């Protein structure tokens, strides 16, 4: 059963406007894939002739494997803002892997996928032509079933390091007070240097980047909440040196300052 996305979903930028241009839903994973995959997702769009939309996301520290109307790819951790140009009609079905948990599927450093898109066939060594042909005419839930079957046909052995690091990253995402690499290393029961090495191998991004991305997603969620925000207080709450530091980091990631982002999201909600 699908789970519709909430408007405060921090990965989707300007969610009120975005969700008028495409439909997004999440789906649970079977027990066999649960150690590796966070959830399945689908996107469908059907834009009027001559209309386009640039979907923008502030992505998670995760690898995504997806089949769309034009490609079957693995997308590594995207450290910049992710953008997808939509026009006409199309679809995507994907699996968002838990942080660090794509590493057992490939056996090599996830950093080699960072900021990159590569064909599933090149990454996993498995042809996807039959999968893509089956997905194209299928309904949403059937697309998820097909991708589930594709993944469950070759599941790797459990990897304790991947599971431990996934728990660490998920705790960082859920705990706004975790703002320093040293604190995350203590949580992981390791040194800062070892944590950095493990994150490069398994997560595909540095601990510092993961922490800041999680806190910027907190900012995006607060900005899209529709309530006034004390940006100076929020900056201190989330571990930024001051409001100017938060503004610079958010602007670099999203393209506009947080106050502007909040105003633009509210303006699009009224249209």
Query: Does residue 99 have a pLDDT over 90?
Result: yes
Ranges of H-type helices in 107-174 = 120-124, 129-135, 140-152, 160-174
- Enter the tokens of residue 235: 């900056």
What's phi and psi for 193, nearest 5 deg?
-65, -45
Alpha-carbon gap, residue 9 to 217, rounded angstroms: 9
Kindly state the percentage of the chain with pLDDT values over 70: 94
What's phi and psi for 267, nearest 5 deg?
-65, -40
| Residue with token string 């390091």 | 161
What's the average model confidence in pLDDT over 74-94?
A: 94
- More reliable by pLDDT, 1 or 85: 85
| Residue with token string 């990159």 | 116
What count of residues does the chain have? 271
pLDDT tens, 107-145? 999 999 999 999 999 999 999 999 999 999 999 999 999
Alpha-carbon gap, residue 254 to 261, rounded angstroms: 8
Q: Looking at residue 48, what DSSP letter applies?
A: P
Q: What does pLDDT average to over the chain?
A: 92
Kindly state the percentage of the chain with pLDDT values over 90: 83
pLDDT tier at 270, thresholds 50, 70, 90: low
pLDDT tens, 36-59? 999 999 999 999 999 999 989 999
Instruction: State residue 268's pLDDT score.
Output: 64
Query: Does residue 251 have a pLDDT over 60?
Result: yes
The gap between the terminal CA atoms of the chain, to the nearest Å, is: 31
What's the average model confidence in pLDDT over 222-229?
A: 87
Query: Does residue 6 have a pLDDT over 90?
Result: no
Helix, strand, coil % (nearest 5) of the chain? 45, 20, 35
pLDDT tier at 269, thresholds 50, 70, 90: low
Instruction: State residue 224's pLDDT score.
Output: 84
What's phi and psi for 156, nearest 5 deg?
-75, 170
Q: Is residue 40 within 8 Å of residue 143, measured between CB atoms?
A: no
What's the average model confidence in pLDDT over 261-268?
A: 79
Q: Are strands 89-97 and 37-46 parallel, antiparallel or unpaired?
A: antiparallel
Q: Are strands 117-119 and 89-97 parallel, antiparallel or unpaired?
A: unpaired
pLDDT tens, 175-215? 999 999 999 999 999 999 999 999 999 999 999 999 999 99
Domains of the chain, with CATH numbers? Answer: 3-152 (no CATH), 160-269 (1.10.10.60)
Query: Does residue 237 have a pLDDT over 80?
Result: yes
- More reliable by pLDDT, 268 or 72: 72
Alpha-carbon gap, residue 157 to 190, rounded angstroms: 24
Residue 1 Cα distances to 152, 161, 214, angstroms: 18, 31, 27
Helix (H) or strand (E) holding 23: strand 23-27
Span of 83-97, 194-208, 253-267 with lowest mean pLDDT: 253-267
Query: Does residue 8 have a pLDDT over 90?
Result: no
Please give the full DSSP string across 68-107, using - where no structure is assigned. ESS-EEEE----S-EEEEEESEEEEEEEEEPTTTTHHHHS
| Residue with token string 């303006």 | 267
Alpha-carbon gap, residue 262 to 165, rounded angstroms: 33
């Amino acid at each position: 059963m699908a789970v519709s996305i909430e408007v405060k979903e921090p990965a989707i930028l300007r969610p009120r406007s975005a969700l008028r241009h495409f439909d997004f839903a999440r789906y649970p994973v079977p027990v066999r894939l649960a150690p590796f995959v966070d959830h399945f997702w689908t996107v469908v769009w059907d834009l009027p002739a001559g209309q386009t939309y640039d979907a923008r996301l502030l992505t998670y520290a995760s690898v995504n494997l997806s089949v769309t109307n034009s490609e079957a790819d693995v997308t590594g951790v995207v450290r910049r803002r992710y953008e997808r140009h939509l026009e006409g009609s199309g679809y995507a079905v994907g699996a968002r892997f838990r942080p660090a948990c794509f590493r057992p599927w490939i056996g090599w450093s996830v950093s080699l996928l960072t900021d990159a898109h590569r064909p599933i066939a090149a990454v996993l060594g498995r042809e996807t032509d039959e999968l893509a042909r089956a997905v194209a005419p299928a309904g949403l839930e059937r697309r998820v079933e097909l991708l589930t079957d594709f993944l469950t046909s070759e599941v790797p052995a459990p990897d304790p390091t991947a599971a431990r690091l996934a728990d660490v990253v998920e705790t960082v995402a859920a705990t706004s007070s975790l703002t320093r690499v040293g604190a995350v290393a203590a949580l992981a029961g390791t040194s800062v240097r070892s944590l950095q090495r493990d994150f490069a191998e398994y997560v595909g991004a540095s601990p510092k980047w993961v922490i800041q991305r999680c806190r910027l997603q907190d900012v995006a969620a607060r900005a899209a909440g529709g309530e006034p925000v004390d940006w100076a207080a929020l900056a201190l709450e989330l571990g930024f040196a001051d409001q100017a530091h938060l503004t610079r980091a958010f602007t670099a990631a999203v393209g506009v300052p947080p106050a502007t982002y909040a105003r633009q999201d509210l303006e699009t909600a009224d249209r």
